Chain A
Amino acid sequence: MLEGKFEEASLLKKVVESIKDSVQLCNFVCSEHGITVQAVDDSRVLLVSLLIGNEVFSDYRCDRNITLGVDLKSFAKIIRCGGNDDYLTLIAEDSPDSVTLVFEDKNSDRISEYSLKLMEIDNEFLKIDDMDYDSVIKMPSIDFQKICRDLSTLSESLQILITKDSIKFMAEGETGNGSVILKPRTDIDKPEQSITVKLNNAVNSTFGLKYIADIVKGTSLSNQIVIKISNRTPALFEYKLQSGYLRFYLAPKFEDE
């Protein structure tokens, strides 16, 4: 039996909104530690890895591992029905064929209850090893979102160059070119505005902007985004949650060998 109560429905709302354009069908695996999701997009370029730790919930109970196969498009429709500030409780039996969402309005006695039919989702699991990355940057997530959106008007690809003292985002297109350069900075009053670069090796990597456009939908989850990049290997984009994370692994584009 799964029973997880969110203090505010908005967290799960944001999570679902952040990943529903990257993957449609995914298994929510619930265990005593919390809820995890791993899903790969159809083209196998982008991988979504989510952990909602049990500390995020105000009440959490899950005695046995339960897998909820969810169509995110339908899930998003249902979850939009609840108010942002409502309590949200997820309820499922041990081998469920549906999951129940209960929204409770804090100011009145209104209780709304929805159930979503579950799917059998037969997906492959990728094994992700911990890696040492050439470079790790941390920056305000909203800035990253704006840079990517601006540059996507020019090109389908985003080139990221990282050196010891700068991060450069570049896009070259038929109509013109654009670039944005950031320098590391520390803001003591507003730490979420800080930009840090940890560098082992200089990085020059290129990514498809259509995938990045899906990744930055996670912006609302966290003030900061952590980007871990190595040359010629998938990059990791991470939004930290209060307990847990939403991670995207994105395979780079190559110039041909």
Chain B
Amino acid sequence: MGIKGLNRLISDNAPEAIRSSEIKNFFGRKVAIDASMCLYQYLIAVRQADGQQLMNQDGNTTSHLSGFFYRTIRMVENGIKPVYVFDGKPPDLKAGELEKRKTRRDEAIKMGEQIKDTGTMEEIKKFEKRTVRATREQNEEAKKLLKLMGIPFINAPCEAEAQCATLARDGKVYAAASEDMDTLCYQPTYLLRHLTYSEARKIPIDEVNAGVAISDLGLTRESFIDLCILLGCDYCETIRGIGPVTAFKLIKKHQNLDNIIEFIKKDEKLSKKYIIPDNWIYKQARELFLNPEVINSDEINLKWEEPDLSGLVDYMCKENGFAEDRIKNGAEKLKKSLKTGVQGRLDTFFKVIPKTDAQKKASLDKKRKSNSNDKKNNSKKTKTSFRRKK
């Protein structure tokens, strides 16, 4: 479930790596999307006015189908070509994290039961959302829908983020889309966040340049991974007492976890302050980030096909109770976007001249300054600001 504080760390220390822009600026791009993440997101976020999940006549949830259908169309309409990647079996190291999540879910169910009669609507909703989990059937349903829509998907052998990142790194797609910052550990070219949010929320898409993020933090890929492990990942515990700021400082000074452990153990005061877990399996976690189990990009062939209109109507309308005109309308949009040529981009022909270090530093200082000024003025953050008199 992501890495704690990493987003903040990057936006503070390597602001050049993150660019916010509107969805329409990603036209013509192929993007690999972490489908398991989306599935979960849709189950939570796609709701009726009363906060209930969408359901068909048999009482089965259809929130995820709605999400996959409409949000995919939104991307396609903006000229993006999505490919979805589903999780395979979780790595063994994730068992602990998954166990924790299950306990949390069980607790939430219990709490939900307890306050069912006494709690306010808000509270009940809150606990209900915490009980959400994506079932195997829902995964299969999403795949079936994507197939009917003519959108390609891949079953990753293991973690979907790793597969997405590999596709991006090998040039099969432009970027990996996930909300999880740990996708950066697998070194995609770019990570897109908020791509699958609903349009109504009007949240810009963050484009994180993984290479720039790591180099502007002054790290290598290996030390970056160690930093993420130290911040807290899904695979192993962290050293208690070390927050993001200390973690970043320690990694900068000692390069890797092995050195940090040695450094802490040598110092009596420090080893009391920071407790290193027994049998800490950070090395295995590191290995999972460095060499994840993925399908070789050469074996993957991505193809976007025409939607199967009658199949979609049968599945979405007859089986799952969606309105026929809206589904037909959506299929029409898919078809149209497939047909009209793709607008080329200048940046695939002309290379961006990299900024010199001096320019980078200048803009970093400027951003910091304008950020702190913004805080003072409590005004909206803008990318460009009027020059101030010196």
- Identify which of A43, A126, A206 contacts B25 (C-beta below 8 A): A43
Give complex CA distance A46, B25 in Å.
12
Contact A44 B384 (CB under 8 A): no
Contact A43 B352 (CB under 8 A): no
Contact A251 B344 (CB under 8 A): yes
- Identify which of B342, B346, B353 contacts A254 (C-beta below 8 A): B342
The residues of B that contact A96 with a CB separation of less than 8 Å are 387
Contact A251 B351 (CB under 8 A): no
Which of A44, A119, A121, A255 counts the most B-chain CB atoms under 10 A from its CB?
A: A44
Contact A127 B350 (CB under 8 A): yes
Per-residue contact bits, chain B 228-268, to A (CB 8 Å; 1 contact, 0 not): 00000000000000000000000000000000000000000
Contact B350 A126 (CB under 8 A): yes
Give complex CA distance A129, B390 in Å.
38
Task: Tell me the chain B residues, 343-384 only, with Cβ under 8 Å from chain A.
Answer: 343-353, 363, 366, 383-384
Instruction: Look across to chain A and name the residue whose beta carbon is closest to the beta carbon of B388.
Output: A97
Per-residue contact bits, chain B 44-56, to A (CB 8 Å; 1 contact, 0 not): 0000000000000
A130 at interface by CB-CB < 8 Å: no
Contact B387 A119 (CB under 8 A): yes
The residues of A that contact B383 with a CB separation of less than 8 Å are 122
- Identify which of B304, B341, B349 contacts A157 (C-beta below 8 A): B341
The residues of A that contact B304 with a CB separation of less than 8 Å are 256
Give complex CA distance A45, B343 in Å.
8
Task: Tell me the chain A residues, 198-254 only, with Cβ under 8 Å from chain B.
Answer: 206, 208, 232-234, 249, 251-254
The residues of A that contact B22 with a CB separation of less than 8 Å are 42
With A97-B389, A118-B386, A156-B340 given, name 13 new contacts (CB 8 A). A44-B345, A44-B346, A69-B387, A117-B386, A118-B387, A119-B384, A120-B366, A120-B387, A121-B384, A157-B341, A249-B346, A251-B348, A253-B344
A109 at interface by CB-CB < 8 Å: no
Task: Tell me the chain B residues, 1-42 only, with Cβ under 8 Å from chain A.
Answer: 21-22, 24-25, 27
Contact A122 B384 (CB under 8 A): yes
Shortest beta-carbon distance from A119 to chain B in Å: 5
Shortest beta-carbon distance from A99 to chain B in Å: 11
The residues of A that contact B384 with a CB separation of less than 8 Å are 25, 69, 119-122
Q: Can you give 9 A-B contacts (C-beta < 8 A)?
A: A120-B386, A122-B384, A126-B351, A128-B350, A233-B349, A234-B349, A234-B350, A255-B341, A255-B342
The residues of B that contact A208 with a CB separation of less than 8 Å are 343
**CB-based closest 4 A-B pairs:** A251-B344, A126-B350, A97-B387, A253-B341
Shortest beta-carbon distance from B328 to chain A in Å: 18
Give complex CA distance A207, B213 in Å.
35
Instruction: Look across to chain A and name the residue whose beta carbon is closest to the beta carbon of B16.
Output: A122
The residues of B that contact A46 with a CB separation of less than 8 Å are 346
Which of A122, A253, A255 counts the most B-chain CB atoms under 10 A from its CB?
A: A122
A66 at interface by CB-CB < 8 Å: no
The residues of A that contact B390 with a CB separation of less than 8 Å are 95
Shortest beta-carbon distance from A203 to chain B in Å: 15
Q: A118-B387, A119-B384, A120-B385 are in contact. Are A251 and B353 (CB under 8 A)?
A: no
Contact A44 B25 (CB under 8 A): yes
Contact A45 B346 (CB under 8 A): yes
A40 at interface by CB-CB < 8 Å: yes
The residues of A that contact B338 with a CB separation of less than 8 Å are 256
Contact B385 A45 (CB under 8 A): no
A124 at interface by CB-CB < 8 Å: yes
Contact A234 B344 (CB under 8 A): yes
